[in-house]
Structure 1
Amino acid sequence: MLGALEALLDSHSSPDIEDLPPLHGGIVGYLGYDVIREVEHLPDAPPNDHGMPDAVMSIIGSLAAFDHWRQRIYLIESVVTRDEAGHTLSEAELLAARDAAIDAVKTSAQRLAAPSEATVVEPPVPGERHEDVPSSMSSGRYLDAVVTAKEHILAGDIFQVVLAQRYDIELEADPFDVYRVLRQVNPSPYMYFIRHDEATLVGSSPEPMVQLRGDHIVSRPIAGTRKRGLDEEHDRRLAAELLEHPKERAEHVMLVDLARNDVGRVAKFGSVQPEEFMTLERYSHVMHLTSQVTGTIRPGLGPIDVLKATLPAGTVSGAPKVRAMEIIDELEPVRRGPYAGVVGYLDWSGNLDTAICIRTMFVRADGVTASLQAGAGIVADSDPEDEDLECRNKAAALLAAIPAARRMTATRRSQES
């Protein structure tokens, strides 16, 4: 997959137009956790029991980009200027392609001007509880896995590993309704809805994976989690506890160092530096410690090289990374699929913007079964019960969107019948 993406990027180019949104044509989708097996030699993964594809990437030639700040929509059509053999189109062919693109923009504008028939977003009922959702690992099995991981740490195999568990649920709602509710209950820096024949992704990831804009690389690791408080005072106490907790701070420092090493593999010598360190970020259900690492890419390297150097993020695998991934294969009973990979885009100007695929729901092709995964970072003094609870707290943000989405879907279907 990575080789195919690199070939596509090498055969397409577009100017980086200042007045347009960052993405105005390129490749959009997700690369799952197991794509790293194209780069690192790892033992066989656990079974892919849901049959989720390792990657889904689509070439985007038409897009509507919504500027939330200016409340403006940009309608963009890419115009192909070369044929399949790489020859520049004739003047007549270029004019015809331009005119077709203009017509497409006009058609899109007419569609956007029409009244929307979408169901009004129904906010969740305050205090509404979601149903209990079974895990791919019983609570006892996850606790045992944490104990085994700690044995690996004490033996010197690793310093830290992220163990995840999967939760499956009968969705009983249109995935797009889940996305619309999720924008209300868990707004995050990266919100995405990707519908494909083989799977649909609905997500609200708080964590950038890696960005490349021009020659500037940015990695923003998140490590250290607490649930949100019941009120302002409780929230402040939990935040202070997180910021001062020795285990959380040590784990965060370790993963920032790992991010610096990853960026350093493709950055100019001496350009890698932390720009932010241990900043507290709050979301609807949890709060996190966040840092930012930047660097300048070396000449001759591009976005695929950056992905190869950084996948998967240390915050969803561990340290040392390859040995941690081997232990994940040993202890997690099912393949991760899209979880802990990346979702985002690569554009024709050589830019890259990706988020870590966490806080994400994967809906199978049948539209019935939805899965979400959540993990916790295990270190030498981890408490198994606390790590299991952290997984459930992270999953709760997505699960909280489902009841309201079910009501929206039911309302629309009753109106249509």
Structure 2
Amino acid sequence: MVHAQGSVGHSPAPPPGAPPASPTACRARHHALRSFSWHRGDPGDPAELLAGFLADNGLPVRNLGRSDDKYGTIGHGTICGASLYVSADAGSVMNHATPGGPSPVPAIPDVYAVVWIHTTAAMPGSTPDWELGSWAASWTPDEHARAVQSVRDAIGRGDVYQVNVVGHASAPYVGNPTAALARVAGLPGARYGGILAGDGWAMATASPETLVEVRDGRVITRPIKGTRPATADGRRELLASAKERAEHVMIVDLERNDLARLPGTGPVRVEELFAVRRWCDLWQAESVVSAEISSDVGLADLLRAVCPGGSVTGAPKLAALAHIAALEPVGRGVSMGALGWIGPDHLDLGLSIRTVAVDGERVHAWAGGGITADSDPAAEVAEAAAKAGPLRAALASAVSART
């Protein structure tokens, strides 16, 4: 059934693995009841349309701070929650900001939600046949470096303080991508490791970063900024880097501002600053920023406040988005958006970094980093490659790549 605003369907294709951030007790019991999708260019406010769809399915999106266990039985199962995906472009639309270029994966909606019920039926099996071709980037290392320098020039003019620059690459494939996507979702440090799929497409995330979590009366974000190799020297370098710390603190301030403008929350505080965490073979710096919920907090307002995520846009956010749209040769697709879960008593959305997508013909991956006045273009190109490396290795694991 297609509406004038948004699209609602029944029984979408099941994912080839557990949805990101889904409760452990629910895994291997998911059955898709109905779904919602919205593409850039569709009419209507995607935040309101999404909230309306989820509210109509009994999820407590009008007051996210309220614990609600009033889930009834529908058909042959019980609603356990919903998967949510919001692209970076959809986040820009929600905030009347400049969207990026066309997505290289246009089959994937910019907003997608699936309502899940519990079932005892076994998930379908898959075959391991998978052959991956050669990667092709949407820009060369020199073009990437020139984009970094362009941001540095803009900072020098006072246009922005920081801009996150992201590159894209894709490779052809044949066969069943299920096992390869599962390897991506299982990478070490993947707090939001999981897979979400629709008609003719799937995405897998190994994201370690919390865009926003609502739980136990608090709204929480955990921005990540600052990267070094996961060695003893790398950890010392990260902790000692004035450039990385300044970049990180700038984004923490941006996230504090995002939460402060969210209706229904109390004072914002930084619970932890510049803590070093590990993702695969990289150290990354993470902070924890939170606000107490003082009155009703709705999903639409929450998405407008935090999307697109500050750590993958820059500061000021709207000015950074305009530079991103001008510099990046293709859209961010499924990357740099929000991906996670809403249940009866919490919401947990990861930032869709370290995320790949397949569309039936090609697999797509994105990686980048935050640019400041002190950024070295060659080092930024190398950092993006280091972030993409584990994804490519997971996708190619146990196969002979085509040349």
Per the normalisation by structure 1, the TM-score is: 0.75
Tell me which residue corresponds to 2:332. Answer: 336
Q: Does 1:41 align with 2:37?
A: no
Give the deviation of 1:265 after TM superposition. 1.1
Give the deviation of 1:295 after TM superposition. 0.5
* Counterpart selection for 1:212 from 211, 214, 239: 214
Gaps (5+ residues) in structure 1?
Answer: 63-75, 77-104, 123-129, 229-234, 409-417
Tell me which residue corresponds to 2:68. Answer: 16
Query: Quick one: distance in 1 between partners of 2:56 and 2:185?
Result: 36
Instruction: Say which structure is richer in strand.
Output: 2
The alpha-carbon distance between structure 1 residues 119 and 369, as it changes in their structure 2 partners (threshold 3 A), is closer
Q: Does 1:255 align with 2:251?
A: yes
Does the aligned pair in 2 maintain the 1:166–1:373 contact within 8 Å? Answer: yes
Per the normalisation by structure 2, the TM-score is: 0.78
Give the 5 Å matches for 1:144-223: 144-223=146-225
User: Runs in 1 of length 4+ with deviation above 4 angstroms?
Assistant: 116-122, 267-270
The alpha-carbon distance between structure 1 residues 236 and 24, as it changes in their structure 2 partners (threshold 3 A), is farther
Tell me which residue corresponds to 1:382. Answer: 375
The alpha-carbon distance between structure 1 residues 250 and 24, as it changes in their structure 2 partners (threshold 3 A), is farther
Gaps (5+ residues) in structure 2?
Answer: 1-45, 60-66, 71-77
Query: Quick one: distance in 2 between partners of 1:273 and 1:210?
Result: 14
Instruction: Say which structure is richer in helix.
Output: 1
Does the aligned pair in 1 maintain the 2:160–2:320 contact within 8 Å? Answer: yes
The alpha-carbon distance between structure 1 residues 403 and 46, as it changes in their structure 2 partners (threshold 3 A), is closer
Give the 5 Å matches for 1:234-313: 235-266=231-262, 271-313=267-309
Give the deviation of 1:227 after TM superposition. 2.3
Give the deviation of 1:214 after TM superposition. 4.8
Structure ID, larger Rg = 1
Tell me which residue corresponds to 1:414. Answer: none
Does the aligned pair in 2 maintain the 1:303–1:352 contact within 8 Å? Answer: no
Give the deviation of 1:187 after TM superposition. 4.5
Give the deviation of 1:253 after TM superposition. 0.7
Tell me which residue corresponds to 1:372. Answer: 365
The alpha-carbon distance between structure 1 residues 11 and 178, as it changes in their structure 2 partners (threshold 3 A), is same
Does the aligned pair in 1 maintain the 2:209–2:223 contact within 8 Å? Answer: yes
Q: Deviations over 1:111-147 (max 9, x none)?
A: 48xxx9667999xxxxxxx987332111111111111
Query: Structure 2 counterpart of 1:55, which letter?
Result: D
Q: Does 1:7 align with 2:55?
A: no
Query: Quick one: distance in 2 between partners of 1:217 and 1:381?
Result: 32
Does the aligned pair in 2 maintain the 1:212–1:303 contact within 8 Å? Answer: no
Tell me which residue corresponds to 1:140. Answer: 142
Please provide the CA RMSD for this pair: 2.8
Q: Deviations over 1:155-174 (max 9, x none)?
A: 11111000000011123452
The alpha-carbon distance between structure 1 residues 179 and 50, as it changes in their structure 2 partners (threshold 3 A), is closer
Does the aligned pair in 2 maintain the 1:303–1:350 contact within 8 Å? Answer: no
Q: Does 1:354 align with 2:349?
A: yes
Tell me which residue corresponds to 2:28. Answer: none
Q: Deviations over 1:306-347 (max 9, x none)?
A: 111011111100000000000000100111121111111233
Q: Does 1:404 align with 2:400?
A: no
Counting aligned pairs with the same residue, the percent is 30
Give the SS at the match of 1:299.
coil
Give the SS at the match of 2:397.
helix
Tell me which residue corresponds to 1:88. Answer: none
Give the deviation of 1:26 after TM superposition. 3.2
Does the aligned pair in 2 maintain the 1:266–1:298 contact within 8 Å? Answer: no
Give the SS at the match of 1:205.
coil
Give the 5 Å matches for 1:78-117: 105=119, 107-108=120-121, 111=122
The alpha-carbon distance between structure 1 residues 48 and 139, as it changes in their structure 2 partners (threshold 3 A), is same
